[in-house]
């Protein structure tokens, strides 16, 4: 089983045009806004969705923030983004492009990853998502019995406006950063999840299961509320390359973990290599709650993503497991933020990055321990593997410690594949490529183990495939 | 390019020190320094120990810049914060392309004795070549209560016990 969220709407560029930036085919859409973002576009989006007035007000305020805020001076080079050329709202028709339009390198990747035939067409966007309803419908019934809400954000806003109003924008305010402001102004799609008190959702909730809705989009907005003592694992993304004609993906994910609740959020991101992926993810964790971010970044041109947790209640825990693979002309600027506000809180961040063929992988992180947050523990470990002389790796951690009753440690290492390791494996009869693959897979093995089984299998295959340098 | 950017990011004008032979360099006074490691096959050690007392704001920012291959470098920064002092340690290892077989390590250790003392630790790495072994470690801790308990139970006063532990922290190699 492959569980992948793909765009329901991506008529990707024909293969002879891949790599053309800001290429937006305009067929197959019921509704398209003009390029560029103005107040009128926002009113138009809000109007089309029949949103309540308070949401329009939030959007308009965010738009003003977007105009006032500037592009960050640190991190990746974002000068290639042309905001005026982006279409901020597209509504797909039911008409899908045909399988023949799928670029050959994608088909090859599907083969290599061993993705079932039926799912390939969905992944490539040539079949509508709701074809899978038969299979996953029974799971949905079970959740509904427990009172679990799992809807698209647009539907969530329609059916549970009070819940949305209470939590929307409360952990990531619209003026948090420029891209959060842009998302708040133009959001569309994403998930709305509510887990009632004490409910343990045993099967991971996957965006793939959510039916009849835009699965993801340029400006997805996800809101997850895990009530007291409840437990959930949410999975988004997929290992197969994710095609989109949109060259800017700017999502916001807000998570509220209540007393004693647990939330694990897994992202597997393999955007097409023309995409700027600028995502703001943050969760607020109350007393004895636990938040786990598992974050795998392989695709995109530029990724800037720092999933964070605000440990606001006594004894709250946060964990981030992050993996980044930067290939030719890619810059993965990823990391994590841990904000300790309450005593006895602990955070644990593990980051592994691989850079090859001139790619650049950076870890950028922050640990902040507030004056009142005594008896906190924080551990950050970053390991980087650099595979050739053209590639680059950086580590930029910031640790701000405002009281002395803490244990904070940070470690980072950078290394290449050791000649002795290669020699050992090759003397056992492996050729150099196989030996390298084995070492790289070993390097990330600890993180891959945290994934659901089918993802773990695909992840290993994907790494093998990437190591051959044949994925476009 | 990265180098130019880094120089700009210093809060005050840094002092540039060229280390062209194997040395043990001791930073006597907190401040802003750039160390340029220019001779291949040298072994360099850079260290600093500092104490911050009262309202003091101890700031140190250093760049260890590898410009030649096969250099082994070890940088150790240690600081102890008393009273309501603030310690800020920023250090960066920058390894230029073509600096093969580099080994460079950076350690930042901060001991906060008083509950009002604060610390900022930023250890950065920028690696532009592949054949390197490079790592950094940073920690911020207080004096473990069990160590104090041990010394007090041996008849020392608490203040003396604290002093002994601080001296030990500053003297050890890591």
Which of A388, A392, A402 comes nearest B127 by C-beta? A392
pLDDT-derived band at A212 (thresholds 50, 70, 90) equals very low
Contact B127 A403 (CB under 8 A): no
Q: Which has the higher per-residue pLDDT, A278 or A464?
A: A278
CB B151 within 8 A of CB B119: no
Residue A25: the pLDDT is 44
For chain B, say whether A396 makes contact (Cβ under 8 Å): yes
What would the pLDDT profile of B47-95 be if each residue is shown by its tens digit?
999 999 999 999 999 999 999 999 999 999 999 999 999 999 999 999 9
Give A118's contacts (C-beta < 8 A, 6+ positions apart).
Answer: none
DSSP-derived 3-state class of residue A84: helix
Contact B142 A405 (CB under 8 A): yes
Q: Among residues A246, A256, A259, which one has the least CA distance to residue A219? A: A246
**Contacting residues of B for A397, CB less than 8 Å apart:** 122-124, 138
Cα torsion angle, A383, B118, B108, B3, sign? positive
Q: How far is residue A79 from each of residues A71, A76, A114, measured CA to CA in Å?
A: 9, 9, 37
SS3 content of chain B, % helix, strand, coil (to 5): 20, 50, 35
Exposure string of B51-84, with b = 16+ CB inside 10 Å and e = fewer, is bbeeebebbbbbbbbbbbbbbbbbbbbbbbbbee
Q: Among residues A397, A319, A322, A320, which one has the least CA distance to residue A352? A: A322
Mean pLDDT to the nearest integer, B103-127? 92
- Angle between the N-to-C axes of helices A178-186 and A39-48, in degrees from 0 to 180, rounded to the nearest 10: 50
For residue A5, is pLDDT > 50?
Answer: no
User: A172-176, A183-187, A422-426, A433-437: which range is least confident on average?
Assistant: A433-437
Q: For residues B93 and B75, what is the distance between their CA atoms, to the nearest angstrom?
A: 9
Q: Which residues share a beta bridge with B64?
A: B35, B93
Pairing of strands A262-269, A290-297: parallel
Q: How far is residue B125 from each of residues A371, B25, B134, measured CA to CA in Å?
A: 28, 20, 8
For chain B, say whether A16 makes contact (Cβ under 8 Å): no
DSSP-derived 3-state class of residue A347: strand
What would the pLDDT profile of A136-156 be if each residue is shown by its tens digit?
455 667 788 889 998 888 888
pLDDT-derived band at A337 (thresholds 50, 70, 90) equals very high
Q: How far is residue A411 from each of residues A127, A338, A382, B122, B134, measured CA to CA in Å?
A: 46, 15, 6, 11, 11
Q: Among residues A16, A260, A6, A285, which one has the least CA distance to residue A126? A: A6
Q: How far apart are the first and last CA of chain B?
A: 33
Query: Residue A71: exposed, middle, or buried by beta-carbon count in 10 A (0-12, 13-18, 19+)?
Result: middle
Residue B174: the pLDDT is 56
Residue A103: the pLDDT is 61
Residue A135: the pLDDT is 42
The interface residues of chain A toward chain B in range 262-291, judged by CB-CB distance below 8 A, are: none
Residue A13: the pLDDT is 38
For residue A240, is pLDDT > 50?
Answer: yes
Residue A48: the pLDDT is 85
Residue A151: the pLDDT is 82
Residue A248: the pLDDT is 82
What would the pLDDT profile of A150-176 be if each residue is shown by its tens digit?
888 888 899 999 999 999 999 999 999
Contact B122 A396 (CB under 8 A): yes
Q: For residues A185 and A371, what is the distance between their CA atoms, to the nearest angstrom?
A: 35
ipTM > 0.85? Answer: no
Contact A414 B137 (CB under 8 A): no
pTM: 0.82
Contact B125 A395 (CB under 8 A): yes
Mutate to test the interface with B, among A376, A395, A405, A439 (most CBs of B within 10 A): A395
For chain B, say whether A409 makes contact (Cβ under 8 Å): yes
Q: For residues A141 and A55, what is the distance between their CA atoms, to the nearest angstrom?
A: 30
Give A13's contacts (C-beta < 8 A, 6+ positions apart).
Answer: A20, A23, A25, A245
Residue B64: the pLDDT is 94
Residue A154: the pLDDT is 85
The interface residues of chain B toward chain A in range 7-66, judged by CB-CB distance below 8 A, are: none
pLDDT-derived band at A78 (thresholds 50, 70, 90) equals confident
CB B96 within 8 A of CB B124: no
Q: Among residues A153, A157, A325, A159, which one has the least CA distance to residue A251? A: A153
Mutate to test the interface with A, among B8, B69, B134, B140 (most CBs of A within 10 A): B140
For chain A, say whether B83 makes contact (Cβ under 8 Å): no
Mean pLDDT to the nearest integer, A393-399? 92
Residue A269: the pLDDT is 81
pLDDT-derived band at A271 (thresholds 50, 70, 90) equals confident
Give A81's contacts (C-beta < 8 A, 6+ positions apart).
Answer: A247, A248, A276
What would the pLDDT profile of A12-44 be if each residue is shown by its tens digit?
333 333 333 343 444 455 666 777 788 988 998
């Amino acid at each position: 089983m492959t569980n992948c969220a793909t765009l329901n709407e991506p008529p990707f560029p024909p293969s002879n045009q891949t790599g053309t930036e800001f290429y937006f085919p305009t067929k197959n859409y019921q509704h398209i806004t003009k390029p560029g973002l103005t107040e009128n576009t926002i009113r138009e989006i809000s109007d089309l969705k029949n949103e309540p007035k308070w949401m329009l007000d939030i959007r308009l305020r965010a738009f003003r923030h977007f105009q006032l805020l500037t592009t960050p001076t640190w991190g990746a080079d974002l000068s290639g983004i042309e905001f005026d050329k982006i279409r901020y709202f597209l509504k797909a028709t039911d008409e899908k492009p045909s399988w023949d339009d799928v670029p050959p390198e994608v088909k090859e990747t599907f083969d290599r990853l061993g993705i079932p035939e039926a799912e390939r067409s969905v992944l490539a966007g040539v079949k509508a998502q709701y074809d899978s309803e038969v299979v996953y419908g029974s799971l949905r019934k079970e959740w509904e019995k427990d009172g679990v809400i799992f809807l698209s954000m647009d539907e969530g806003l329609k059916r549970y406006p009070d819940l949305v109003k209470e939590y929307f924008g409360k952990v990531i305010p619209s003026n948090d950063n420029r891209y959060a402001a842009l998302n708040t102004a133009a959001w569309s799609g994403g998930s709305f999840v509510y887990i009632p008190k004490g409910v343990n959702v045993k099967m991971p909730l996957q965006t793939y299961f959510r039916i009849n809705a835009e699965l993801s989009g340029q400006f997805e907005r996800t809101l997850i509320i895990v009530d007291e003592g409840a437990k959930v694992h949410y999975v988004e993304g997929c290992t197969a390359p994710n095609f989109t004609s949109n060259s800017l993906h700017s999502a916001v994910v807000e998570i509220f973990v209540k007393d004693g609740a647990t939330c694990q959020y897994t992202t597997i991101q393999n955007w097409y290599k023309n995409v700027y992926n600028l995502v703001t993810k943050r969760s607020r964790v109350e007393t004895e709650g636990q938040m786990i971010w598992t974050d795998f970044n392989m695709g995109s041109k530029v990724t800037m993503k720092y999933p964070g947790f605000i440990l606001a209640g006594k004894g709250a825990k946060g964990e981030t497991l992050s993996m980044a693979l930067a290939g030719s002309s890619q810059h993965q600027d990823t990391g994590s933020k841990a904000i300790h506000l309450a005593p006895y809180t602990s955070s644990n961040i593990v980051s592994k990055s691989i850079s090859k063929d001139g790619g650049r992988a950076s870890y950028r992180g922050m640990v902040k321990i507030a004056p009142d947050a005594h008896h906190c523990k924080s551990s950050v470990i970053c390991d980087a593997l650099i595979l050739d002389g053209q590639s680059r790796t950086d580590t930029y951690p910031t640790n701000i410690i405002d009281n002395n009753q803490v244990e904070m440690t940070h470690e980072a290492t950078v290394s290449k594949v050791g000649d002795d390791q290669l020699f050992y494996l090759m003397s056992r009869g492996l050729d150099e490529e196989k030996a390298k693959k084995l070492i790289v897979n070993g390097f990330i093995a600890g993180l891959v183990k945290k994934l659901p089984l089918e993802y773990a299998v695909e992840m290993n295959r994907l790494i093998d495939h990437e190591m051959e340098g044949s994925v476009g | 390019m990265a180098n130019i950017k880094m120089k700009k990011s210093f809060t005050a004008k840094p002092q540039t020190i060229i280390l062209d032979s194997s040395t043990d360099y001791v930073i006597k006074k907190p401040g802003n320094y750039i160390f340029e490691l220019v001779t291949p096959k040298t072994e360099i050690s850079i260290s600093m120990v500092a104490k911050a007392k009262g309202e003091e704001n101890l700031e140190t920012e250093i760049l260890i810049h590898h410009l030649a291959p096969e250099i082994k470098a070890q940088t150790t920064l240690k600081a102890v914060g008393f009273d309501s002092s603030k310690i800020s340690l920023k250090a960066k290892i920058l390894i230029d392309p073509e600096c093969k077989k580099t080994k460079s390590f950076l350690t930042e250790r901060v001991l906060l004795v008083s509950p009002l003392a604060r610390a900022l630790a930023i250890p950065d790495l920028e690696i532009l070549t592949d054949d390197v072994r490079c790592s950094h470690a940073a920690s911020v801790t207080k004096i473990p209560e069990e160590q104090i308990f041990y010394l007090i139970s041996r008849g020392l006063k608490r203040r003396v016990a604290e002093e002994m532990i601080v001296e030990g922290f500053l003297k050890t190699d890591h």
